[in-house]
Amino acid sequence: MKAVICQEPGRLEVVDRPGPGAPPEGFATVDIRHVGICGTDYHIFEGKHPFLEYPRIMGHELSGVVAASGSGTSLRPGTPVIVNPYLACGTCVACRKAKPNCCTRIQVLGVHTDGGMCERIVVPEGNLYPAEGLSLRDAAMVEFLAIGAHAVRRSLAPAGSRALVVGIGPIGLGTAIFARIAGHDVTLLDTSAERLAFADERLWFGVGVRAGEGANAALMALSDGDGFDVVFDATGHAGSIRNGFALVAHGGAYVLVSVVKDDIAFSDPEFHKREMMLIGSRNAGRADFEHVIASIRSGLVPLDALATHTTSLDEAPAALARWSRDKSGLIKAIVAV
């Protein structure tokens, strides 16, 4: 197995599987227990990810148990932890502003560098959050939920806002859940009748619209003709992002949770007359992880409904091949290490 070790800010290196000895100062060795699978992992598995060099060990939605800790760390062996996979340089303009989630030299485990779909990994203590009160399966779902929680926090929308979440894959569902926790009136939009039915029956989101002809008119009617105070796009589709501008209410905000390679064009007069805020949301920060952890402990996140598929580390290659072809009923798959 391989593991990733960050030896100093801004420098990463892949090393052989760490042994039982003490990790470097400020780091901890973690025995991985569960790995969540996301859309990025399917793209990597299929050889279609445009921004990484192959081969790559996947895995960035991680939970585990501290096996050893270096000097100067407070985490003791045996502590269950959630891994924040965003390794930041600590010195760039974003890091100096306490925004390591958009570090200019960010290295995401399993994407920019080898990740945690293995038995053991070494990471900085600052990227580990205690998971007491959570099962290790649930702890592996914190990261993807934190992305949605971060988007909701970025929106600055007050409680009681009308919120529209466009695209209800795992990230969109996480966004919708934390918009609801924030006290928003949440409407969903997706192309999949199956996903909308799942959100209604298993997650108790009663208002959903299927994308297509007439969808915008239906959404405007649901908002009394005003549009939505905040719109979150989690589709990864340029056409959807362009369409979303027309659904934002005057004085509202548009949060782009997903990212696309395309240029996004919009009508400047429509944008200005609304005095719309256009907000990018990338990854998540410690505050978002802590908010998700607290919300899970409070019973506000329906994790049993979200965790639809499981497999073992040995069976993961076959399972990933199967799930990449057939995602029917699939929300979140978890690999048990």
**Residue recorded with tokens 């290295």:** 107
- pLDDT of 6 over the 50 cut: no
Range(s) within the chain of domains with CATH label 3.40.50.720: 148-280
| pLDDT reported for residue 9 | 36
Q: Among 3-17, 63-77, 174-188, name the one with the lowest average pLDDT.
A: 3-17
The more confident residue out of 6 and 124 is 124
- pLDDT of 219 over the 60 cut: yes
Q: What is the DSSP letter of 113?
A: B
- pLDDT of 1 over the 50 cut: no
Farthest-apart Cα atoms in the chain, separation: 64
User: Using 50, 70 and 90 to split pLDDT, how confident is the model at 5?
Assistant: very low
CATH 3.40.50.970 is held by the domain 148-280: no
What's the CA gap between 208 and 200, in Å, rounded? 8
Q: What is the chain's mean pLDDT, rounded?
A: 93
| pLDDT reported for residue 236 | 92
User: Which pairs with CB-CB distance under 8 Å and at least 24 residues apart come from 197-203?
Assistant: 198/331, 199/168, 199/173, 202/302, 202/305, 203/173, 203/176, 203/177, 203/302, 203/305
pLDDT, one tens digit per residue, over 253-310 is 999 999 998 899 999 999 999 999 999 999 999 999 999 999 999 999 999 999 999 9
| pLDDT reported for residue 26 | 92
Range(s) within the chain of domains with CATH label 3.90.180.10: 2-140+302-336
Domain 2-140+302-336 - what CATH class? alpha beta
Which ranges constitute the DSSP H helices of the chain? 39-45, 93-96, 136-139, 142-155, 170-181, 193-201, 215-222, 238-244, 268-273, 286-297, 303-306, 316-325
| pLDDT reported for residue 12 | 37
What's the CA gap between 204 and 25, in Å, rounded? 46
For the record, the structure tokens of 63 come out as: 């939970």
User: Using 50, 70 and 90 to split pLDDT, how confident is the model at 54?
Assistant: confident
pLDDT, one tens digit per residue, over 168-191 is 999 999 999 999 999 999 999 999
With residue 255 as reference, give the H or E element that holds it.
strand 248-256
Of all residues in the chain, the percent with pLDDT exceeding 90 is: 87
For the record, the structure tokens of 229 come out as: 């105070």
User: Using 50, 70 and 90 to split pLDDT, how confident is the model at 20?
Assistant: low
Which residue from 25, 30, 22, 42 is spatially nearest to 1, judged by alpha carbons? 30
Mean predicted confidence (pLDDT) in 132-139: 97
| pLDDT reported for residue 261 | 87
Mean predicted confidence (pLDDT) in 193-212: 97
Q: Nearest 5°: phi and psi at 132?
A: -55, 135
Judging by DSSP bridges, how do beta strands 27-37 and 120-124 pair with one another? antiparallel
What's the CA gap between 39 and 42, in Å, rounded? 5
User: Using 50, 70 and 90 to split pLDDT, how confident is the model at 2?
Assistant: very low
> What Rg value do the Cα atoms of the chain yield, rounded?
20
